[in-house]
Amino acid sequence: MSKAVMQAMQLDAPRKALRLVERPVPEPRPNDLLIEISACGVCRTDLHIVDGDIRSQLPIVPGHEIVGRVLAAGDAATGFSIGERVGVPWLGGTCGACLYCREDRENLCDRPTFTGFSRDGGFASHAIADARFCFAIPAAYDDVEAAPLLCAGLIGYRSLVAAGEARRVGLYGFGAAAHILTQVARWQGREVFAFTRPGDDEGQRFALDLGCVWAGGSDERPPAPLDAAIIFAPVGALVPLALKAVRKGGRIVCAGIHMSDIPAFPYSDLWEERSIRSVANLTRADGRDFFRIAAEAPIRVSTEAFPLGQANEALARLRAGKIEGAAVLTPGG
């Protein structure tokens, strides 16, 4: 009897277009779920993988914002039933034994597995995922809306936690993560200041529509000093600009997996106990905390859907800054 086949958009080499391939549907290992994918978000990290900014094993199927339904489960997989909706994030597995895992800092695991980077991801009709690292998704979101929550939402949330109790928060780079995080921050009673590419009037209007108290270009100063700034854009030159925008004791959080080099800046801009830190990956605790909030907060996820075969177009639109909110692939589309 012939084996069932799946479709996938495969990256064979950096800076090359993804290629539509057919391959056998994989068998789940003991802790795995076999998932039929209904939606997968297109994240800036996927763009960094495709563009070779970060190097993965190749060939690889990108995509780590996966929403689908369980078709089959390995003998040791627990937590999800056949037919149940499930979400798959960037963190696909950890060793459980290194110093960081033992300290409940699994986002820094020495031997991690990442969805769409070290194991095939969600730019496909089917995927395998470790059930221990998957999430249930609040019923309030349909599949396409839910997909960006699995990285843009999760990493945005971890970045907001890293910003501490900041009341005035600046967001540099107003894309998928920022548009979700703005709504979470407002729900928490914070003021959000949006920084877009200079001259991006549409992006600034979008930010204001979501409740930002101010929106302007990344080359502008906000009307009031910020308590913290979160940088989503992969542009190192934004760090010195953000330092000038935060008050004494202010905090800069660099939220991306890749950023261009940070240029030199005078120590006086960092002085007075300002600080710079990065955010790496996520933990399962982040996911549980965020999805509890997502079930309560009135988050409106703005998406643009593309059929699976148009993954290259979605990536090109994201690269050019032409996506309002988040791009999402729909294998059945």
Average pLDDT on 90-111 reads 98
Query: What pLDDT, on the 0 to 100 scale, is given for residue 311?
Result: 98
Q: Where are the alpha helices (DSSP H) in 90-151?
A: 99-102, 143-146
Per the prediction, the chain carries an average pLDDT of: 96
CB 246 within 8 A of CB 226: yes
Tens digits of residue pLDDT in 34-64: 999 999 999 999 999 999 999 988 999 999 9
Tens digits of residue pLDDT in 229-275: 999 999 999 999 999 999 999 999 999 999 999 999 999 999 999 99
In angstroms, the Cα distances linking 76 to 28, 32, 73, 168, 251 are 10, 8, 8, 46, 43
The pTM of the full predicted model, rounded to 2 decimals, is 0.95
Tens digits of residue pLDDT in 186-211: 999 999 999 999 999 999 999 999 99
CB 281 within 8 A of CB 107: yes
CB 282 within 8 A of CB 304: no
Judge whether residue 126 has pLDDT over 70: yes
CB 253 within 8 A of CB 228: yes
Q: What 8-state DSSP symbol labels residue 147?
A: G
The span from the CA of 184 to the CA of 54, in Å, is 29
In sequence order, what DSSP letters do the residues of 253-297 get, joined into one string?
Answer: EE--S--PPPPP--HHHHTTT-EEEE--S--HHHHHHHHHHHHHS
Judge whether residue 1 has pLDDT over 70: no
Query: What pLDDT, on the 0 to 100 scale, is given for residue 333?
Result: 61
The span from the CA of 127 to the CA of 115, in Å, is 10
- Beta bridge partners of residue 126, listed in sequence order: 36
